[in-house]
Amino acid sequence: MKGCRVGLVLLLGLALRPGPSAACVESTYQARVFEQTSGVLLYVEHHHEDFCAGVQRHSQVIYVGPDGDTLATKTLDFSRIQPDVVLDDRRTGYREGAVVRGDSIDMFRRFESGAEELRASIRPERLAAINVGVDHAVRVYWDLLEAGSQVEFDFAVPERLRCFHFRLRRLDESGQQLRLRIEPANWWLRWVVSRIDLTYDVTRRRLLWYEGITDMRDERGRRYRARIEFDYPTLLPPP
C-alpha cells in the first residue's frame, strides 16, 4: 500500500481551537505497565485530560510506582494547537521535551539533575508526530488505516534530539479490535529497531494495549520495554 501523506498540524495535535464560551470537561483514566518479558508490574499511569467542545486542551500523566511513590510526570499543552510535551523523572532528574514552533520542532534533554541541558531544532522532511501525536493520528486517519493504507511520518525523539522516519500500518482487525504497528519506514532499520504494537477498541477508537518501548527508564537509564493496559471508566466518551 502507498503511504498516506497529510498535513503537519493534524499529526501534531488538533486542527481546531474551541471558542472562549466552549463547554469544558475533564476525564481521568489509568494504565498499568508490565515488563514485557517477565510480566512484573513496573508502574501505573494516571491520566488527566481537559477537553473544551470536544477538543483536547491539556493532559497530564503521573507515573506511580508499585509502592505508591510518584516516579515522574508528563505534561502536554495543546492550547497552541500543537502539543508541547515535557517529561520530568523525579528519581534521577532526567528531563526531556519538545515544542513546536512554526514548521520546526525544538527539542531538549537533560540526563540528570545539574547536567547540561542539550537542545536542537529540527525541521521535519515530512509530516511529523510528537509523543501522543501518534494516537491522535490514528483517530484522524482511522478509515485509511482500517482499509490497509499506511501513514508515514517523522517521529520526534527528544532523547536523541532528532526525528526518525517511521510508518504506521494495520496488522489485522478481529471482532471489535484493530491492531496497528509503528516501525521504521526503512526495511533495513526494521531489523535493529524494535516495533511498537497498538491495539484499539473499534467502537470507541480508544487505545487498549500498547506493547513496546516506554517513556520511563530503569535504574541503568534504559527505557523499559513493556505492555501497557489501559483502563477507562465505562462512561468515558470517545476522544
> Tell me: the pLDDT tens digits for 169-217?
999 998 899 999 999 999 888 898 889 999 999 998 999 999 999 999 9
pLDDT digits (tens, 9 = 90+) for 41-65: 999 999 998 887 767 778 899 999 9
> Which is nearest to 131 in space by CA: 204, 82, 177?
82
- Range list of H helices, the chain: 8-12, 133-140, 142-147
Compute the distance between CA of residue 213 and CA of residue 87 in angstroms, rounded to an integer: 15
Take residue 53 and report the three cell numbers written for it. Answer: 467542545
Question: Which DSSP letter does residue 65 get?
Answer: -
Domain segments of the chain: what residues?
3-14+23-231
Q: Is the pLDDT of residue 6 over 50?
A: no
Q: How many CA atoms lie within 13 A of 232 on its CB side?
A: 16
State pLDDT tens for residues 118-174.
999 999 888 788 888 888 889 889 999 999 999 999 999 999 999 999 999 999 998
For the chain, the distance separating the N- and C-terminal CA atoms, rounded to the nearest angstrom, is 28
